[in-house]
């Protein structure tokens, strides 16, 4: 751990500007922040003179925001660092899986090399925590897990992470129960799953195995659920019941959850209440090609919601750059969040709920004692950063600069 030091002239949001009852902007003030043992130990106005002899790092008025979380990625799938290739259209997910099986082992670059390239992109974009899914299936065994763990070890001390043991080809369909169990022993912390109905062919059996593995391994669950309409809703309802019965509240997530975007708002509200009651998080990549969960509605009803990038130049999609701030900007744009407060609050979904100002404009981050996980941005406020996808100048993790310069 480095010696204590001051971050000087750091721009923090202090409240909303209000004119005749209408929010017209965001107020900011510059502060000096004392960083010690990886945490923010003291905050004083930049008008005050620092009298101790501790080192100083001048932030030069850059906006200080909580660093970002990438809630959904696949480090083992990315083609970053390899040659350009577009995506071959397919008629089913099973065709896509077969293409992926052939392409990934044929690449000249290693899984570790490509994963490191993507992790480096994440650090540059302001991410200091990520959740990665890692494919587990008989033909590959735990090789992807091992390669991704090597890549993450290269960045030890620069970010934190979670690994999902992901049976991409179906937990039941590819008979990977024992492999997932072993992956949990080898460092994965969540059990993955995919479309219990249309991929595994048995909703009840698939969900039961996921819950069994999670309870046994003291792990969480992150289910890829693409199934639409009421098939997807039925699956979510059953997972919510099993989550409560197993005492897994707060440890379960559903990625994609497209069914929530296919039903009327009244039904979505009811479903949001059930998800909130079960402590299940919905993770969306904000796709442009289909309806996705109503993030604002879920959030208002108390359900946990997060945003992730998902595919980043892989066999599934030629798009994506690993910039989760850009993805939050897309969420705001698609949701028509155009006013100052709504734009600023979009930050909530890529920071684990941390925003400089709460809904009423009270300053709530940072607080003394918070981890010094910070992104330094060339923007006047959170709203501008979201709307303009502003440039990140530097990223800090537990008091250490891990990317960029002031």
CA dihedral 216, 217, 222, 224 (to 10 degrees): -70
Residue-level pLDDT at 154: 98
pTM listed for this prediction: 0.96
Integer Cα distance of 13 and 380 in angstroms:
9
Element counts in the chain: helices (H) and strands (E): 12, 16
d(CA 131, CA 73): 6
Per-residue model confidence (pLDDT) at position 1: 57
Query: What whole-number distance in Å separates Cα of residue 162 and Cα of residue 141?
Result: 19
Tokens for 111?
A: 């899984």
Angstrom distance (rounded) from CA 144 to CA 167: 12
Q: 16: helix, coil or strand?
A: strand
User: Which candidate, 305, 310, 268, places its Cα nearest to that of 287?
Assistant: 310
Omega before residue 366 within 30° of 0, cis: yes
End-to-end CA distance of the chain: 21
In this predicted structure, what is the pLDDT of residue 2? Answer: 77
Q: Parallel, antiparallel, or unpaired: how do β-strands 374-377 and 63-66 relate?
A: antiparallel
Task: Give the integer Cα–Cα distance in Å for 367 and 98.
Answer: 50
**Closest to 169 (Cα-Cα) out of 190, 139, 210, 208:** 139
CA separation for the pair 206, 214 (Å, rounded): 13
Report the pLDDT value the prediction gives residue 345, as an integer from 0 to 100.
96
Q: How far is CA 381 from the centre of its chain?
A: 21
85: part of which helix (H) or strand (E)?
A: none
Tell me what pLDDT residue 21 has: 87
User: What is the distance between the alpha carbons of residues 126 and 378, in angstroms, rounded to a whole number?
Assistant: 12
Mean pLDDT of successive 10-residue stretches along the chain, which has 406 residues? 90 94 94 97 94 95 98 97 94 92 94 98 98 96 97 98 97 97 98 97 98 98 97 98 98 98 96 98 96 97 97 94 96 97 97 95 96 98 98 98 94
pLDDT of residue 134: 98
Helix (H, G, I), strand (E, B) or coil at 33: strand
Q: How far apart are CA 47 and CA 9, in angstroms?
A: 9
Calculate the alpha carbon distances from 325 to 83, 93, 317 in Å. 26, 29, 19
Pairing of strands 392-397, 400-404: antiparallel
Q: What whole-number distance in Å separates Cα of residue 255 and Cα of residue 25?
A: 34
């Amino acid at each position: 751990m480095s010696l204590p030091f001051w971050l000087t002239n750091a721009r923090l949001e202090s409240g909303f500007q209000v004119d005749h009852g209408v929010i017209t902007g965001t107020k900011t003030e510059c502060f000096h922040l004392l960083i010690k043992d990886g945490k923010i130990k003291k905050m004083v106005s930049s008008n005050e003179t620092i009298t101790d002899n501790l080192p100083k790092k001048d932030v030069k008025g850059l906006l200080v925001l909580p660093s970002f979380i990438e809630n959904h990625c696949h480090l083992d799938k990315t083609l970053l660092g390899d040659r350009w290739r577009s995506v071959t259209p397919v008629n089913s997910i099973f065709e896509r899986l077969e293409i992926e099986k052939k392409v990934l082992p044929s690449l000249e670059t290693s899984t570790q090399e490509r994963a490191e390239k993507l992790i480096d992109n994440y650090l540059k974009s302001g991410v200091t925590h990520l959740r990665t899914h890692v494919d587990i299936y008989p033909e590959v065994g735990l090789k992807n897990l091992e390669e991704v763990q090597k890549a993450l070890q290269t960045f030890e001390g620069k970010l934190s992470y979670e690994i999902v043991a992901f049976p991409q080809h179906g937990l039941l369909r590819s008979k990977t129960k024992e492999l997932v169990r072993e992956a949990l022993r080898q460092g994965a912390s969540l059990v993955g799953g995919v479309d219990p109905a249309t991929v595994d062919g048995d909703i009840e059996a698939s969900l039961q195995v996921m819950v069994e593995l999670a309870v046994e391994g003291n792990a969480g669950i992150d289910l890829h659920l693409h199934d639409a309409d009421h098939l997807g809703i039925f699956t979510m309802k059953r997972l919510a019941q099993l989550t409560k019965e197993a005492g897994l509240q707060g440890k379960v997530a559903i990625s994609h959850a497209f069914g929530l975007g296919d039903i009327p708002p009244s039904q979505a509200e009811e479903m949001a209440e059930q998800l909130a009651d079960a402590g299940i998080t919905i993770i969306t990549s904000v796709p442009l090609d289909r309806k996705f969960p109503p993030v604002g509605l879920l959030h208002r009803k108390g359900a946990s919601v997060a945003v992730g990038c998902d595919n980043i130049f892989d066999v599934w999609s030629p798009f994506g750059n690993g910039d989760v701030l850009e993805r939050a900007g897309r969420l705001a744009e698609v949701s028509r969040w155009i006013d100052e407060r709504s734009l600023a609050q979009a930050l909530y979904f890529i920071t684990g709920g941390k925003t400089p100002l709460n809904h009423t404009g009270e300053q709530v981050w940072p607080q003394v004692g918070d981890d010094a996980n910070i992104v330094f941005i060339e923007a006047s406020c959170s709203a501008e950063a979201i709307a303009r996808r502003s440039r990140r100048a530097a990223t800090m993790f537990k008091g250490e600069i891990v990317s960029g310069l002031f």
